[in-house]
Chain A
Amino acid sequence: MAAVQETVDTVKLIDVDQYKYGFFTEIETDKAPKGLSEDIVRFISAKKNEPEWMLEWRLEAYRRWLTMPRPEWARVDYPEIDYQDLYYYSAPKSTAGPKSIDDVDPELLRVYEKLGIPLREQEILAGVQTSKIAVDAVFDSVSVVTTFKEELKKAGVIFCSISEAVQEHPDLVRKHLGTVISSNDNYYATLNAAVFSDGSFVYIPEGTRCPMELSTYFRINEKNTGQFERTLIIAEKGSYVSYLEGCTAPQRDENQLHAACVELIAMEDAEIKYSTVQNWYPGDSEGKGGIYNFVTKRGDCRGARSKISWTQVETGSAITWKYPSVILRGDESRGEFYSIAISNGRQQVDSGTKMIHLGKNTSSRIISKGIAAGRSDNTYRGQVSAHRKATNARNFTNCDSLLIGDQCGAHTVPYMEAKNATAVFEHEATTSKISEDQLFYCQARGLSAEEATAVIVNGFVKDVLQHLPMEFAVEAQKLIAISLEGSVG
């Protein structure tokens, strides 16, 4: 069954040439010299006024990175990146450090206004915005402002840029940084460890339910810069946090590099919900320009009964190389991954997840929907493994792809590795999940077979989208309408 017209039209609406966030803002910046060397690593560390251990950590990663080969297993094709032709640090001149909203360059505020990101707390409180979200706004290499810090502080929640955390909470950072994604984890994560310039830091103390949604908004503005941010979220025993991430970039003919790391740590009974709407500039319809998005995201369910859930809506980037993972270390911990990846133009998406079952009675669930249109390639790559001691590990995976047109490709590459006899892994395609019963039920009520399928599948997609917090509903709205009939498993 081919895609229905409605789906085709909806996907067209978000086609690459419809990119709305492609504007560029003239802002005076403070940049590191072009290129990458130990000196640049020292430069960034010095800019951030980092302690010695932090610099050593970076240098070790940098030296290690020099010896690593570029990973080539993913189904993405891009020319060799000239790492010497990039700026590794670029900050708007006016922001010398974290400060209140009143000190932020109005030009910068206008950027965020244009992007629809609320940074002025009073406006939000005055009801200009409907709900309250704390935002950490990252512009090129640095965090320009973090909102609602005071209010969060009252609840004991630390929410600030990671550079600020290094200064103010060095013990927490030192204890946790790199414990989920080590400084030599993979090629891009290692590069990130060496040159990361900013990112967000969140600490939720024991037994605390974070009083509002936290979010970070990434904007790449400057030409020829790489953005390397690092986010660290620690949820102590019994705590809960929901975190949102959004990203956009100007429309340029050159490719830009974004190599981020996100580390999540969930202790006993803690829950972290991490949602992303990734909308980096995807390049034009001929594949010129766009962001190379090489991201390492990993959560560690360290304590018993902890839970980490990743939800992502991926529509941007020329290349997406991203596998948000969960290490299910604690007994009875749970990992979830909900993803909708839409590729258009010449975009290449190779994304999926890893669920590593280590503890007893752990469970994971993977729901992935890939939609490929234009001349794009959309790959789901997921790994589920149960180690020897992961008694009663459970996984359910469902990954569907839909192709629109005959010049795109949709691929599914699941890896299932079971080393425990009590592990039960199931991997399925939606086509087999739309049961005859459901179809019959709908058809008996007067729907045609196609309508019936659409109703069922739409319900299913909504099921994924409902894992997105309300705040992202607007962005996700466009995607909700997309139906997935004719999907191939």
Chain B
Amino acid sequence: MTAHVTQMKTAAETALAAEFVAAKAALPGTAAVGALRESAFAVIAEKGLPHRRVEHWHYTDLRSAMRDAKPLAGLPDAAALAAAKAAIVPHARPGLAKLVLLDGSFVPELSDLADLPQGVQVMPMAKALAEGNSEVIARLGALEVAQGDHALALNASFMSDGVVIVVAADAEVKAPLNLIHLRSNAATASFARSLVLVNAGAKFTLIEAYESTAGRAADVEAQLNDALEIVVGEGAEVEHVLLQQLPRATLALTTMTVDLAAQSAFNSFALVLGAGLSRRQLYVRYSGEHAKAGLRGASLLKDRQHADTTLIMDHAVPNGESRELFKHVLDGASTGVYQGKVIVRPHAQKTDGGMKSNALLLSDDATMNNKPELEIFADDVVCGHGATVGALDEDLLFYLMARGLPKAEAERLLIQAFVGEAIEFVSAEPLRDALNGHVDAWLSER
């Protein structure tokens, strides 16, 4: 009775299929990894790229945004390495070890492997895949709630390299580890996959940065689809901070999955400033009781930028606590998307969940799409969500201007305060200062 509509494959979908056939033999990994790639690509072959009729991708139509699939980025050449070397100079800080990925490939010669903090071990993902490291492979795509995800499946199909970071049990790593994702100035697609295993009782901070070796003005159309899986052991505490400043011509998909053991704590903050189209996906699963997670972030967008933050908090066990706070500041004709879903599974009693999304529209052409979702199957929980969209408060502006501040300055103060509410949760002061500095820089360019 109902007609079956067969969707035509887009140029990008056709190219991806051809690329997969051509590249799969050369991609790193044992037979087990090969099987993983095959089953991941089957998802894409069957469903195609996600489009607006796929509920989870309703506001970010990847199918129409991805006009073509760029060729896979190969190993970086000498010129790219030289550019990368120059690009990481500002990141050099005494006592802060860095790991550098260039177009999805781990670059040991630019990384501080010799100066890693005590208790931290690093191995290239390509090596783990090629050697068939069973501990690593077993963790890949293991988080149930993220299974079937389009972006993650695409990453698993083409993942080339990345890093595996292992933090020893009870290690108190004071200095953060700096993971720098660089894109060279090439119209390619990169697929990095990283894994962070934080063993029981350890404390660890990871800072991620996304940028191009050619700076923010680079106009080469690059694509990246990275995934980072974090396993937080019992009683371990992990903090994660991300700064994305990719050029406008870049299409960036990043997925982070977090598996929380009992009594563990995880806090993440992301500042999104760059990329023409970006989508951050976060999947958090509570595997042990009394775990706490806080996901926060701010996206400052202008012109025609589109940034999507989509997250799922999966409370599978009782007594979990989750907090989300996301801020969008939208100028020009930019679009912000926030989709947050808190799932409380049957019997996950005493879950405490709080989700908040606030958006500030600075222009009449800006758009905010907000979808804070609750899916609750337990009756003794406290879950709430709040979402607001609006312009700068006229009364507050008036108040500040009445005290002699010029309008631009008054606006600036209010936006700083708005974003600052989320940055506040980053525990280290130098990090907070650095993030606020980036917000100020964005504001002065307005």
Is B367 an interface residue when CB atoms closer than 8 A count as contact?
Answer: yes
Residues of chain B contacted by A3 (CB below 8 angstroms): 379
Stretch at the interface among B86-94, B132-140, B234-242, B380-388: B380-388
Residues of chain B contacted by A419 (CB below 8 angstroms): 366-367
Chain B 184-205 interface mask (CB, 8 Å, partner A; 1/0): 0000000000000000000000
Given A83-B1, A421-B364, A488-B383, A427–B390 Cβ distance below 8 Å?
A: no
Residues of chain A contacted by B121 (CB below 8 angstroms): none
A412 and B385: CB pair below 8 A? yes
Residues of chain B contacted by A423 (CB below 8 angstroms): 361, 389-390
A417 and B384: CB pair below 8 A? no
Residues of chain A contacted by B361 (CB below 8 angstroms): 418, 420-421, 423
Contacts of B334-369 to chain A: CB distance below 8 A: 346-347, 349, 359, 361-369
Number of CB contacts from chain A to chain B under 8 A: 131
What's the least CB distance linking A17 to chain B, in Å?
21
Partner of B375, one of A70, A411, A417, A420: A411
Contacts of B1-44 to chain A: CB distance below 8 A: 1-5
Residues of chain B contacted by A488 (CB below 8 angstroms): 374, 376, 381-384
Whose C-beta in chain A lies nearest to the C-beta of B390? Answer: A424
Is B420 an interface residue when CB atoms closer than 8 A count as contact?
Answer: no
B379 and A418: CB pair below 8 A? no
Is B294 an interface residue when CB atoms closer than 8 A count as contact?
Answer: no
Is B55 an interface residue when CB atoms closer than 8 A count as contact?
Answer: yes
Whose C-beta in chain A lies nearest to the C-beta of B360? Answer: A421
Chain B 69-99 interface mask (CB, 8 Å, partner A; 1/0): 0000000000000000000000000000000
Given A403-B379, A423-B361, A412–B384 Cβ distance below 8 Å?
A: no
Is A425 an interface residue when CB atoms closer than 8 A count as contact?
Answer: yes
Docked CA distance A68–B361 (Å):
37
Contacts of B213-247 to chain A: CB distance below 8 A: none
Is A51 an interface residue when CB atoms closer than 8 A count as contact?
Answer: no
What's the least CB distance linking B8 to chain A, in Å?
16
Residues of chain B contacted by A415 (CB below 8 angstroms): 369-371
Residues of chain B contacted by A69 (CB below 8 angstroms): 2-5
B389 and A418: CB pair below 8 A? yes
A411 and B55: CB pair below 8 A? no
B389 and A416: CB pair below 8 A? yes
Is B378 an interface residue when CB atoms closer than 8 A count as contact?
Answer: yes
B376 and A405: CB pair below 8 A? no
Is A107 an interface residue when CB atoms closer than 8 A count as contact?
Answer: no
A409 and B375: CB pair below 8 A? yes
Is A407 an interface residue when CB atoms closer than 8 A count as contact?
Answer: yes
Docked CA distance A68–B3 (Å):
7
Residues of chain B contacted by A407 (CB below 8 angstroms): 346
Residues of chain B contacted by A84 (CB below 8 angstroms): 1
Residues of chain A contacted by B364 (CB below 8 angstroms): 388, 420-422
Docked CA distance A414–B340 (Å):
10
Docked CA distance A427–B390 (Å):
12
Partner of A66, one of B1, B55, B347: B1
Whose C-beta in chain B lies nearest to the C-beta of A413? Answer: B373
Given A73-B55, A432-B386, A418–B359 Cβ distance below 8 Å?
A: yes
Is B431 an interface residue when CB atoms closer than 8 A count as contact?
Answer: no
Is B391 an interface residue when CB atoms closer than 8 A count as contact?
Answer: yes
Docked CA distance A445–B157 (Å):
65
Residues of chain B contacted by A421 (CB below 8 angstroms): 361-364, 366, 391
What's the least CB distance linking B307 to chain A, in Å?
15
Docked CA distance A403–B349 (Å):
12
B383 and A427: CB pair below 8 A? no
Residues of chain A contacted by B387 (CB below 8 angstroms): 414, 416, 425-427
* Size bin of chain B's contact surface: 35 or more
Residues of chain A contacted by B390 (CB below 8 angstroms): 423-425
Docked CA distance A1–B366 (Å):
40
A426 and B388: CB pair below 8 A? yes
B371 and A413: CB pair below 8 A? yes
Docked CA distance A414–B390 (Å):
17
What's the least CB distance linking B200 to chain A, in Å?
31
A489 and B377: CB pair below 8 A? no
Residues of chain A contacted by B349 (CB below 8 angstroms): 406
Best-buried of B346, B359, B381, B385 by chain A (most CB within 10 Å): B385
Partner of A406, one of B347, B367, B370, B391: B347
Residues of chain A contacted by B1 (CB below 8 angstroms): 66, 83-84
Whose C-beta in chain B lies nearest to the C-beta of A412? Answer: B374
Residues of chain A contacted by B362 (CB below 8 angstroms): 421
Is A410 an interface residue when CB atoms closer than 8 A count as contact?
Answer: yes
Residues of chain B contacted by A405 (CB below 8 angstroms): 379
Residues of chain B contacted by A83 (CB below 8 angstroms): 1
Chain A 387-407 interface mask (CB, 8 Å, partner B; 1/0): 010000000000001011111
Residues of chain B contacted by A1 (CB below 8 angstroms): 380, 382
Residues of chain B contacted by A413 (CB below 8 angstroms): 371, 373
Chain A 29-65 interface mask (CB, 8 Å, partner B; 1/0): 0000000000000000000000000000000000000
B369 and A429: CB pair below 8 A? no
What's the least CB distance linking B306 to chain A, in Å?
13
B346 and A406: CB pair below 8 A? yes
Is A27 an interface residue when CB atoms closer than 8 A count as contact?
Answer: no
Contacts of A452-489 to chain B: CB distance below 8 A: 486, 488-489
Whose C-beta in chain A lies nearest to the C-beta of B1? Answer: A83
Partner of B385, one of A403, A406, A410, A429: A429
Docked CA distance A410–B379 (Å):
9
Is A67 an interface residue when CB atoms closer than 8 A count as contact?
Answer: yes
B382 and A401: CB pair below 8 A? no
Residues of chain A contacted by B382 (CB below 8 angstroms): 1, 431, 488
Chain A 434-455 interface mask (CB, 8 Å, partner B; 1/0): 0000000000000000000000
Residues of chain A contacted by B372 (CB below 8 angstroms): 412, 414, 427
Is A172 an interface residue when CB atoms closer than 8 A count as contact?
Answer: no
Residues of chain A contacted by B379 (CB below 8 angstroms): 2-3, 403-406, 408, 486
Best-buried of A415, A425, A489 by chain B (most CB within 10 Å): A489
Docked CA distance A120–B261 (Å):
68
A429 and B384: CB pair below 8 A? yes
Is A428 an interface residue when CB atoms closer than 8 A count as contact?
Answer: yes
What's the least CB distance linking A412 to chain B, in Å?
4
Docked CA distance A425–B367 (Å):
13
Whose C-beta in chain A lies nearest to the C-beta of B380? Answer: A2
Docked CA distance A84–B366 (Å):
48
A416 and B368: CB pair below 8 A? yes
A412 and B386: CB pair below 8 A? no
A416 and B371: CB pair below 8 A? yes
Best-buried of B370, B374, B385 by chain A (most CB within 10 Å): B374
B378 and A403: CB pair below 8 A? yes
Given A3-B379, A83-B1, A416–B369 Cβ distance below 8 Å?
A: yes
What's the least CB distance linking B378 to chain A, in Å?
6
Residues of chain B contacted by A427 (CB below 8 angstroms): 370, 372, 385-388
A418 and B374: CB pair below 8 A? no
Docked CA distance A419–B381 (Å):
34
Docked CA distance A469–B381 (Å):
35
Contacts of B47-82 to chain A: CB distance below 8 A: 55
Given A420-B364, A488-B381, A425–B389 Cβ distance below 8 Å?
A: yes
Residues of chain B contacted by A417 (CB below 8 angstroms): 367-370
Residues of chain B contacted by A489 (CB below 8 angstroms): 374, 383-385
6 A-B interface contacts by CB (under 8 A)? A66-B2, A404-B379, A406-B347, A412-B385, A428-B386, A486-B379
A-B contacts besides A412-B373, A424-B391, 15 pairs, CB < 8 Å: A66-B2, A69-B2, A388-B364, A403-B377, A403-B379, A406-B349, A406-B378, A418-B368, A418-B370, A421-B362, A422-B364, A429-B385, A431-B384, A486-B379, A489-B384
Q: Which residues does B use to contact A, with CB under 8 Å?
A: 1-5, 55, 346-347, 349, 359, 361-391
Leading 6 A-B pairs by shortest Cβ distance? A403-B379, A421-B361, A416-B370, A489-B384, A418-B389, A427-B387
